[in-house]
Structure 1
Amino acid sequence: MGDNDAVEPMDTSETPLFWYYLEDCGRWHRFEDDPDNPLRSEDIERYFRRNSTGVLIRQSSNRHIEIDFSGQEGNCCCFMAPPVLWEWVDPTCPYQLILLSEVSAEYQTVAKYVKTDGLLDRSIVSISRIQNMDLWDMYCLKKKQLMRNQGVKKIQEKRLFHGTQIRNVESICKNNFDLRLAKEGVYGRGIYFAKHASYADQYSVSSTDPLSLYGGETQGLQGQNTKVIFLARVMIGKSTVGQMYMKKPDGVSSENSYDSCVDDMTHPNIFVIFDPYQIYPEYLIRYKLW
């Protein structure tokens, strides 16, 4: 602004105030833009003016919202929000498996991921969305930490596949992948993910057992031979070629900072993660064998 530029006073008496929340790890949304959100900007502003260091809590049929004003500056707030596609969120459950409708756009998108390489010629039995608020919060916090530590505004993420046994589904949905169970592999001792479902299929073990879920529930097909794979959201960040001896992506050197290991830098198909907080198990796919 030059010396001759005049500053025109603004009349803000009729200007509406809007509050925004940070959702899906990085996108800002106005509260009014979410029809399922029980809070509106005027409600938040009214509470904030009464108690600028308090915690506003609202509970609805499918949302649990906490806005912590303490330690925040100006009109910043913390909003514990699930991803936009989540529904019927029950904060009292460790996790929920939401069975997707075959006609939904979400189902079709995930199914396309499964069949993208044309090699996994299997019949998909079901696709379920995994809703675990605790794991989602940890994933988002880890993303913020990496961005802050590396001084960047974006961390590379991918949706990748992991094959496993049906008996491991409950633990992964509830507690995430367990690095303590990782065995030494060609590209390091970490949690392995694949770009293509057909590769993850090799590590999925067929079973006639039903899925045992939280609360004693089961998802059927008992007696039918099926397999499961996870489609996870994974922060791969900066990658380096993995080596068998590695227990972290930096290897034995601290000169370079990496977040994951891969099989090939030019055309990676395998990704190894050494920190479970860089993983969110997003979908469970169950399919039949021919």
Structure 2
Amino acid sequence: MLWERLENYYPQDWRNRHYCEYTLTDLSSSSMEYLTLKMNMMGHKTISRIVRVECPQLYGYFLLKKAEYQSRGRNVTVKELYHDTAEWKIDSILKTNLDWRMVARCKYGQGVSFSPSTSYANRQSSRSNGINRAMIVADVLVGAGHATSTGVRLPLNDYDTTVGNCGQVYVKFYDNEFYPKYIIYYIN
């Protein structure tokens, strides 16, 4: 079965290596993982919890998308980027992933927006997300990206990513091009 084969590719530190919807593993506040993620969130008010996401299904889809791009001769890199959302949306996101079809604000493209900056992701997050927030730390496949200003709906031919605001925004347009690997719960 596909899931059994994919187990060989799961990260070594995953506790749950069997197929399930998802598992959230709390990071120890003294671990290097936790401290690094906390440092990246400097300036945000109160971090209540940081968890590692162990979701075999989404991770498998991500690996398959990466392999698909590579089989087409595309040079893809994996970037660690941030996406800010409301805490109450996390369960839905971890069941079906971030969905470009649900995007309401799409200044740099009709897709899911990520940023290399937690501050920028927080500032640009919808105010309707309230004060109980979740910063998603995601692995994002970036192959050919092109810089854009406002008003772009889809990337140009042969591109898979749009990049806006001097590299502060990466927009992804297709399913499974990203994997949410950590969630930082905090109060904005």
Whether 2:131 is the aligned partner of 1:239: answer no
Q: Which amino acid aligns with 1:279?
A: F
Aligned to 1:87: 15
Work out the CA distance in 2 between the residues paired with 1:79 and 1:185: 36
Work out the CA distance in 2 between the residues paired with 1:196 and 1:228: 14
Deviation at 1:135, TM superposition (A): 0.6
Work out the CA distance in 1 between the residues paired with 2:74 and 2:115: 28
Any idea what the Cα deviations from partners look like across 1:86-122, whole Å, max 9, x if unmatched? 123342x20111111111122122223323xxxx242
What stretches of structure 1 move > 4 A for 4+ residues in a row?
Answer: none
Work out the CA distance in 1 between the residues paired with 2:79 and 2:45: 23
Work out the CA distance in 2 between the residues paired with 1:104 and 1:173: 24
Q: 1:282 aligns with which of 176, 181, 185?
A: 181
Any idea what the Cα deviations from partners look like across 1:33-52, whole Å, max 9, x if unmatched? xxxxxxxxxxxxxxxxxxxx
Work out the CA distance in 1 between the residues paired with 2:73 and 2:86: 36
Aligned to 2:53: 130
**Contact 1:240 1:262 (8 Å CA) reproduced:** yes
Deviation at 1:262, TM superposition (A): 0.7
Q: 2:68 aligns with which of 128, 134, 145?
A: 145
What secondary structure does 1:162 align onto?
A: strand
What secondary structure does 1:101 align onto?
A: coil
What secondary structure does 1:168 align onto?
A: helix
Any idea what the Cα deviations from partners look like across 1:138-190, whole Å, max 9, x if unmatched? 111111111121354xx222111111112211111111001111135221111
**Contact 2:139 2:178 (8 Å CA) reproduced:** yes
Deviation at 1:84, TM superposition (A): 1.8
Aligned to 2:91: 170
Whether 2:102 is the aligned partner of 1:199: answer no
Paired residues in the alignment total: 185
**Contact 1:179 1:274 (8 Å CA) reproduced:** yes
Q: Which amino acid aligns with 1:287?
A: Y
Which of the pair has more CA radius of gyration?
Answer: 1
Any idea what the Cα deviations from partners look like across 1:16-66, whole Å, max 9, x if unmatched? xxxxxxxxxxxxxxxxxxxxxxxxxxxxxxxxxxxxxxx7x9xxxxxxx73
Q: 2:161 aligns with which of 249, 260, 272?
A: 260
Q: 1:190 aligns with which of 111, 118, 134?
A: 111
Work out the CA distance in 2 between the residues paired with 1:81 and 1:288: 34
Q: Unpaired runs of 5+ in structure 2?
A: none
Q: 1:108 aligns with which of 13, 35, 56?
A: 35
Q: Which amino acid aligns with 1:276?
A: D
**Contact 2:87 2:185 (8 Å CA) reproduced:** no
Work out the CA distance in 1 between the residues paired with 2:104 and 2:11: 32
What secondary structure does 1:89 align onto?
A: coil
What secondary structure does 2:107 align onto?
A: coil
Q: Which has the higher helix share?
A: 2
Aligned to 1:23: none
TM-score normalised per structure 1: 0.58
TM-score normalised per structure 2: 0.87
Tell me which of the two structures has the higher relative contact order, counting C-alpha pairs closer than 8 angstroms and 6 or more residues apart. Answer: 2
- The 3 A distance-change label for structure 1 pair 114 and 276 is farther
Q: Which amino acid aligns with 1:150?
A: G
**Contact 1:183 1:190 (8 Å CA) reproduced:** no
Q: Which amino acid aligns with 1:271?
A: Y
Q: 1:228 aligns with which of 129, 134, 137?
A: 134
Q: Which amino acid aligns with 1:182?
A: V
- The 3 A distance-change label for structure 1 pair 121 and 165 is closer
Percent identity, aligned pairs only?
A: 28
